Structure 1
Amino acid sequence: MKKAIKKIYNGDLFKEFFDNEKATGLILIACTIVSLIMANSIFASQYIYTWHAKFFGESLEYWINDGLMTVFFLLIGLELKREINDGELSNVKDALLPIFAAMGGMFIPAGIFLINNYGTVTHSGAGIPMATDIAFALGILSLLGNRVPLSLKVFLTALAVIDDLGAILVIAIFYTKTIVWMNLFIALAVFVGLLIMNRMKVRSLTLYLLGGVVMWWFMLHSGIHATITGVLLAFTIPFCHGEKDSIFSKLERALHKPVGFFILPLFALANTAIIISSNIGETLSQHYSIGIALGLIVGKPLGIALASFIAVRLGVCKLPADLNWKTVISVGFLGGIGFTMSIFITLLAFDDQTIINNAKFVILLSSLVAGVLGFLFLKTTLKQATIESTNS
């Protein structure tokens, strides 16, 4: 396990990925603060109108969420494919710990939400507390500097990638309302065609991207959320072990900065333009608010730590030597930073704009609490480990 971790971390791509993600996390925090201030200032009406202004018949917010976010999902798909082929998930034994942790971190928060919303109109929001925002989580982790063990960085990264896959499946399966089968079949036919190109060893990135645009258009008009196209496209692009100049590696590198420094900040600005209610107590007392808050703040660390503990006790996998259960619990709290994916699922789960705005506010508040708890808990744990190491 330790050799595998060093191999992964020493790769230039992982370092670049980690550095980009932690920088993106800090930028997202800044964008969120700016957006909240603007939405609750004297410029609120103009600011909110900007995101709802019409372009080609749809709002700017729509094109960000259904168009640009497809590129974000493409990058998620590429990262997932790399992890499966040449990363933490390529070795089944090494992958089992983050897989079990991610599953616990998805099912228990969803269960907590359903318990609080059973029989209500908001039960469809069960997917909201299942997600982890990898950029925010790694951004918080980066604040602790070199004291963070390498295995912890890799564990959190793998956990968040698997978590994203779970969120993608949830979106595809549970948040599709009406399907236009002809458009869906055409989109899937394009997907199959791209897979055939892969098998035929076609290495033209332009052809794959053009096919991806066609697939996106038909998926957009099929009823399935168009952003799923990004993940499907990622799995059609040829992956070559150890080739830094492959079209896969070139595309992955080319997307990191536009996604991290343009698309996600735009998403944050557009989707956190929330007018904070004067009656915060009423907002926080709603069934869906309690479900989201308990899911992210309690369910995430409980699910991640409990599933990891059960897997290790059963002998399915091992805990890395430089980690302990306190650090795993700390990662669990960082996993409670939902933000991007949680807000994204909120937009799909609810139709009532008041519920959407309130849910966004609770996601932000819960993510803040989870992030602060994770940071403080991990800081204390690492400090204790340093003292114990010095004394011994």
Structure 2
Amino acid sequence: MIKRRHPISLFAKSAVRLFGGEAGAGLLLIAVALAALVLANSPWAAAYHDLFHNALPWTPVARLTNLHLWINDALMAAFFFVVGLEIKREVLDGELSQPAQRRLPVLAAVMGMAVPALVFLWVTRNVPALARGWAIPAATDIAFAVGVIALLGKGLPPALRLFLLTVAIVDDLGAVAIIALAYSAGLDTMWLAAAGAVLASLAALNRFGVKHGLPYALGAIALWFCVLHSGVHAAVAGVLAAMTVPLALDRQGESLLLRMEHVLAPVSAYFVVPVFGLANAGVAIPLALPQGPALALPMGIALGLLVGKTVGIFGAVFLAERSGFAPRPAGASWLQVAGLSALCGIGFTMSLFIAQLAFPASPDLVEEAKLGVLAGSLLAGLIGYAVLRLAPRRV
């Protein structure tokens, strides 16, 4: 008897075969970002904008009135659900499960978020209204960074790539915390209480040993709906729901969390994130650079990503090794650490996402922020690639 495969699983396997794993996801995202930029600066710019921002003729959720909102507030919740699954796996049974293993990635991620924020605040210090954007350059886009590393081919120390992945995981956790704490407004206690009840129900499923995926999926949707109306950004619901999925093995020797991650990770990488990139990376490039205060926002973001990330992460590794707190990645030269630190300045997905949250009532500021994200990410990617390409492959 031939076992039928779930359509989502078939899509995931086909995507992996077509594009080649994580590297392919990064390369696909690069292509989508370029396509969005071309569309936004072409004769089809108005149609591109209308596709995502015009009101839908009908919507099942009143708060989500256009395609752009559905992508940012609903589809991205699925992305954060996958992020949550990955974080839980790594913390409980992965590279972040042992104190000695997580020392350097945690320190590097914290400094890699703090220093870009400080750079941004310093550059924009004369325009107080821009302070809400402090977190925009604090994020790293793992798909883009891995895609750039894929272009380098073999030869980099495996520990260097592992370091990038673990830093990105901690970075994602920090970004979720920032979204929950810094970009929540107008909290509705009734909806928060409902969200708490749903979350408690999901935790109870785990506690009583439920290993079937459907109850968790339905609970995650209910939690998303409650959080969407609570004033906390709905993306947080994805991570919270993922934390309730059991990692322990069932009677068949399988883990529900690992099964979910195996099926959903390619869907997130090859569908959710590219769709988000297509909807958000399109920005009209001005013929001349902004002047005066208008330059502060894109400049602060670009320098935060390019300079802040490089200084923060490289500085963390340097201080950790010199102080004996933790060694640098095995087999990596200081030049390779510098190149990887620069690659972490590719913000893209999370930076664009936070930009929407930082200035929800100011479309012009969001567009300026996009310019900074794209410019900083492009320069960080090019410089990181060049440094890693020129660095000797053996210490």
TM-score (norm 1): 0.90
2:116 match: secondary structure: helix
Partner residue in 1 for 2:8? none
Q: 2: distance between equivalents of 1:24 and 1:237?
A: 25
Deviations 1:148-206 (A, max 9, x none): 11101110000011111111100000001110011011101211221122111111210
Q: Is 1:154 the equivalent of 2:162?
A: yes
Identity rate, percent = 40
The match for 2:308 among 281, 290, 299 is: 299
The match for 1:215 among 206, 223, 243 is: 223
Partner residue in 2 for 1:234? 242
Matches within 5 A, 1:96-111: 96-111=103-118
Q: Is 1:371 the equivalent of 2:378?
A: no
2:337 match: secondary structure: helix
Asked whether the equivalents of residues 26 and 148 of structure 2 are also in contact (C-alpha less than 8 Å), the reply is: yes
Q: Is 1:187 the equivalent of 2:195?
A: yes
Deviations 1:321-340 (A, max 9, x none): 31122222111101100000
Q: Is 1:121 the equivalent of 2:129?
A: yes
Asked whether the equivalents of residues 108 and 303 of structure 1 are also in contact (C-alpha less than 8 Å), the reply is: yes
Asked whether the equivalents of residues 283 and 289 of structure 1 are also in contact (C-alpha less than 8 Å), the reply is: no
What letter is aligned with 1:61? H
Q: 1: distance between equivalents of 2:123 and 2:275?
A: 32
Which structure dedicates a bigger proportion of its chain to helix? 1
Asked whether the equivalents of residues 157 and 330 of structure 2 are also in contact (C-alpha less than 8 Å), the reply is: no
Deviations 1:215-262 (A, max 9, x none): 111100000000111100110000026987321111101112211111
Query: CA offset at residue 97 of structure 1?
Result: 0.8
1:274 match: secondary structure: coil
Partner residue in 2 for 1:144? 152
Asked whether the equivalents of residues 20 and 256 of structure 1 are also in contact (C-alpha less than 8 Å), the reply is: no
Which of 369-378 and 286-295 deviates more? 286-295
Q: 2: distance between equivalents of 1:121 and 1:224?
A: 22
Query: CA offset at residue 285 of structure 1?
Result: 6.1
Partner residue in 2 for 1:73? 80
Partner residue in 1 for 2:71? 64
1:177 match: secondary structure: coil
Partner residue in 2 for 1:272? 281
The match for 2:296 among 275, 280, 287 is: 287
Partner residue in 1 for 2:272? 263
Asked whether the equivalents of residues 85 and 243 of structure 2 are also in contact (C-alpha less than 8 Å), the reply is: yes
Q: 2: distance between equivalents of 1:120 and 1:287?
A: 11
CA RMSD of aligned residues (A): 1.9
| Pair 367,112 (structure 1): closer, same or farther in 2 beyond 3 Å | same
**Residues paired across the two proteins, number:** 369
What letter is aligned with 2:142? I
Q: Is 1:380 the equivalent of 2:387?
A: no
Query: CA offset at residue 318 of structure 1?
Result: 1.7
The gaps in structure 1 that reach 5 residues or longer are 1-15
Q: 1: distance between equivalents of 2:93 and 2:150?
A: 24
| Pair 132,364 (structure 1): closer, same or farther in 2 beyond 3 Å | same
TM-score (norm 2): 0.90
Q: 2: distance between equivalents of 1:365 and 1:334?
A: 13
Consecutive aligned runs of 4 or more in structure 1 exceeding 4 Å deviation: 241-244
Q: 1: distance between equivalents of 2:50 and 2:225?
A: 26
Partner residue in 2 for 1:3? none
| Pair 241,202 (structure 1): closer, same or farther in 2 beyond 3 Å | closer
Query: CA offset at residue 320 of structure 1?
Result: 3.3
